[in-house]
């Protein structure tokens, strides 16, 4: 079996991956290549990767700004523990540090732009009341 990426020729985007048998000519006799696609051998590619005609590349996942991370549900009070496959409580001082950081980021954004979303303003006011 050979793992192949199914690449849309027009865009170079990997649509899917699959395992295929090869015959003695290196072809995949029992599975026709979808129209408008090519098959590219790859042990690592996944759907969403790109093909430039020579190399397969993973998509670039932009890093979210820290303010967005902290605003997306507030400072996390629990984290996932891979060893036990459970959620565990974060130390109180870590949660408190995240709250202080979030308050500082919101205050800086307000001072710099004078513009906060309704959600950001409410979060900032709540954090100021807590401190």
Domain boundary assignment for the chain: 2-57, 66-130
Q: b vs e for 36-58, b when ≥16 Cβ sit within 10 Å of the residue's Cβ?
A: ebebbebeebeeebbbeeeebee
d(CA 3, CA 19): 4
Q: What is the pLDDT, as a whole number, of residue 28? A: 64
Q: What percent of the chain has pLDDT over 70?
A: 94
Which token pair is 65?
Answer: 């700004």
- pLDDT at position 26, please? 61
Please list the residues that pair with 16 across neighbouring strands: 6
Whether 125 shows a pLDDT value over 80: the answer reads: yes
Q: Pinpoint the alpha helices (H) of 58-91.
A: 66-71
Give the per-residue pLDDT at 74.
73
What is the pLDDT at residue 103? 95
| Percentage above 90 pLDDT, the chain | 66
pTM over 0.75: no
**pLDDT (0 to 100) of residue 2:** 83
């Amino acid at each position: 079996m050979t793992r192949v990426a199914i690449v849309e020729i027009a865009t170079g985007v990997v649509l899917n991956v699959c395992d295929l048998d090869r015959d003695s000519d290196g072809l995949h006799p029992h599975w026709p290549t979808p129209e408008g696609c090519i098959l590219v051998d790859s042990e690592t590619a996944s759907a969403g990767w790109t093909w430039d005609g020579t190399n397969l590349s993973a998509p670039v996942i932009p890093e979210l700004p820290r303010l967005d991370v902290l605003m997306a549900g507030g400072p996390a009070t629990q984290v996932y523990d891979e060893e036990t496959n459970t959620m565990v409580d974060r130390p109180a001082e870590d949660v408190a540090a995240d709250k202080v950081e979030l308050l500082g980021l919101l205050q800086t954004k307000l001072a710099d732009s004078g513009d906060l979303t309704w959600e950001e303003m409410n979060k900032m006011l709540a954090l100021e009341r807590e401190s």
